[in-house]
Structure 1
Amino acid sequence: MEDGSAHAEGHDGGQDQQGGHGRRYGYDCDVLVIGGGIVGLSTAYALTRAAPGTRVTVLEKEPGPARHQTGHNSGVIHSGVYYRPGSLKARYAIKGAAELVKFCAEYGIAHEVTGKLIVATGRDELPRLHALVQRGRENGIPVRELGPAQIMEYEPEVRGLAAIHVGTTGVCDFGAVAARLANSAQASGASVRYGAEVTVIDRRAWGVAVRTASGEVVRARALVNCAGLQCDRVARLTGDDPGMRIVPFRGEYYELARPGLVRGLVYPVPDPAFPFLGVHLTRGVDGGVHVGPNAVPALAREGYSWSAVRPRELAGTLGWPGSWRIARRHWRYGAGELRRSLSKRAFATAVRRLLPAVTDADLRPATAGVRAQAVLRDGTLADDFLIQESPRTVHVLNAPSPAATASLPIGREVARRALRLLRDADGDRT
């Protein structure tokens, strides 16, 4: 996605070409969704159910769905235990987890409700663990406190001073969920187009027109920006200033050569200063155990390795004042993450705090992911989901984990806003 302010060609901006309600300017669809990850596809799915007959088009630049954040995560269905009561993350994760399990069961998608342990390995973590107990209870999540012997009943190889067991956490195949959402939306009349990268957006009083890299022009009454790693760029293409930038963080994973060391999901106590959950152990639906992720700055929006460098994108990150403020504020934390990225031994040492039996040889490199982290100008890491509206447009500007878990309620919320834009536009014409 290139930055720019050119206008889409092939339309006159105001000629009444066809006449009739909703087609006065030759619209190709009512709602155009940019982005075919799980949030964009859930939005399309929700639109087709909330307002049957609404013409929905999804444009995705990749050759298939869920090729970035959705398809490169640890597959965890989050319970909502971490999130501030009343926040969008808390509300949507709790509701979304239950809905996602039902969705997977209905469509035969691999999933399992395993529960998880959050384990304190140092005394300094005990107050934070107790705070999680309180937060979980405030969010209405079943939380059980455990001592060292009880930890071993759940996970014989895990060691800690104390832990909590969260029973509603699980795992699933999010790529399969996204594909099912796409198929269901298409079966209800939506158009999902892959290999369609949006390069130009022209927003006028009558609606929105976009042009793709292939030269195709699509006109819509309303636009929904679910572009994930590219969402701030898409926002700027519409002419909006989103007040944030996506700073990409790569999360690197290893696979455990001895998966029998772990029965389920094991997490450390997170640092509340960061929206990252720390290196954890995740037994997936395939029976393998992933270890990770860490969180290091990526050198490209889709930088899944240190060798993936895009100078223009890197310059954009370095040119954002918030990036430097993060670096100054959290350089010690960042140095530790960087060390674990460059040293497998350092990564294994971190894992051994939870799982002492792990050796360096037990860790085999696995596929990395990239988190689209919204950073404000003052260096604040946006913690909650961030959805903004502007004329004819809904922007989803921060939807990292637990967005996959919460995708069904997020999709409904974004769809609700898009349909309201359509109603408002209809009111303006009457």
Structure 2
Amino acid sequence: MISLKEALKLDNNGVVELRKELKEKIKANSHLGAYIEQLTNTELSDEYSGIPIAIKDNIQVKNWSITSCSKILQGYIAPYNATVIEKMLSRGLAPFGRTNMDEFAMGSTTESSFYGKTLNPLDNAYVPGGSSGGSACAVSAGIALAALGSDTGGSIRQPAAFCGCVGFKPSYGRVSRYGLAAYSSSLDQIGPITRSVEDAAILYDIIAGYDERDTTSANVEFVSTADKLDANKKYKIALVKNYTDEASDEVKNSIYLAANKLKEAGHEISEVSLSSAKYAIAAYYIIATAEASANLSRYDGVRYGRRGEAESLGAMYATTRGEGFGAEVQRRMLLGTFVLSSGYYDAYYIKAQKARAFISKAYESVLEGADALLMPVAPHAAYKFGELKDPLTAYLSDVYTVSVNLAGLPAISVPVTKNADGLNISAQIIGAQWGEQKVLDIASSLERSC
């Protein structure tokens, strides 16, 4: 499969051939579940006839059925394009197939999808990560040139790490959320999943920028990163020791290997600790579920998607939501409703917001003395389906990614090595707000070294 950079140089005939090749590969690899099982000819048609980019099923594409991989949105047809889709179209790129995901982006294995699970292309017995597991699987398996995902607490970086590709989450507000189905509005961010850092920079440059239609979009100057990508530039990088040392042995060894590779490449390596670690998971799941309970209240059988049969309005609401939402979505909405309820709002939600501010200041403090941080993406490599049956255990596996979203920082997942089972282990590079260039430069250096 050619790179995105190479694809941008193709003439019209070359793009047509590329699309044809991908259609055949997608059909031949349908067992992976990277694309949702109801993938239609419309989504692979030439209506949008540019360079093909796979799209996570929670990003609006006009005239496509966009469902967030939920039963409750069956029958919904998107009436408009998300801003990122419009930006892609303006640069000769086009949406090409909906990728599988955890329902409403709630999960880390892509098992909660209404359409069935996605397999890890490195070993089909293992999870591909989530919630953007379909996008990561498609890129890794060579059945997507590149893909868009969304990252609320690691949902781009973690599946990219599990599947062995590059996943980039920009600073919050850098890429418009207009047209992204909201999970947690103050955390969600669209970003690229690609096979190289350079392709991630190229796709990021295309979709980034201020959007007046998105009230959370940052009206700050944007400068192209791909043109200035420099793997030779030297930076000060701080390894987050307490996070790294608490990971599994194979992950810990891989991060220290990455640090040594970067040191050999001429970067200055130091060690720091993040004191906010113990607050991150609790703060994240309180804030994310609280916002989810509000955002998903719109799916009531009246305005969107399917409607449950009932004899009264109240019963119709209950039936629609009870039948339409999966177990994980219901679990998170119930938790969010609880922490926002009278008597618990101050005890949980307000405290979580205070913890969020503390976490942001902790990152700001350690980044005053470094250009970027280095630490794991996850405490372990991909695990087998069914291995983490307890939801709380699964939530705790997000410990290295959620704090980045709480602080609104840019971060990237870069493959470092394979373990004894042939599964990928990646390193995570985190920068200061609006520090995408430094993050991408360091990622490019690490990629070249590994």
With structure 2 as the length reference, what TM-score do the two structures score?
A: 0.24
Structure number with greater Rg is 1
**More helix per residue:** 2
With structure 1 as the length reference, what TM-score do the two structures score?
A: 0.25
**More strand per residue:** 1
Q: Tell me: higher relative CO, structure 1 or 2? Use CA pairs within 8 A at least 6 residues apart.
A: 1
